[in-house]
Amino acid sequence: MNFVVLVHSDLGTGERITALQLRRSIEGTPWRQFQHVIFVPGLFHVKMAAVDALWRVFIHPTAE
């Protein structure tokens, strides 16, 4: 089968998908390894990660 399943959700779901893929990595086929499941973080989490990066770099640098 040649398809991909995109899962759009929060970071907790992304961690569960990653854990599932790690647990199933010993399986024999990509299908059973869940390699067809791709996690796409929600827009809220992408925005928060960008704001956090800007905060750490420009507003509150720890190494002064």
- The predicted structure's pLDDT at residue 53: 93
Look-up of token digits 């509150």: 60
Write the CA distances from 5 to 8, 35, 55, 58, 59, integer angstroms: 10, 9, 34, 37, 38
CA distance 33 to 30: 5
- DSSP-derived secondary structure for 29-48: STTTTTTTEEEEE-HHHHHH
Q: What is the pLDDT along the chain (64 residues), one digit of tens a residue?
A: 689 999 998 889 999 999 999 999 999 999 999 999 999 988 888 899 899 999 999 988 776 5
pTM, to two decimals: 0.68
- The predicted structure's pLDDT at residue 63: 63
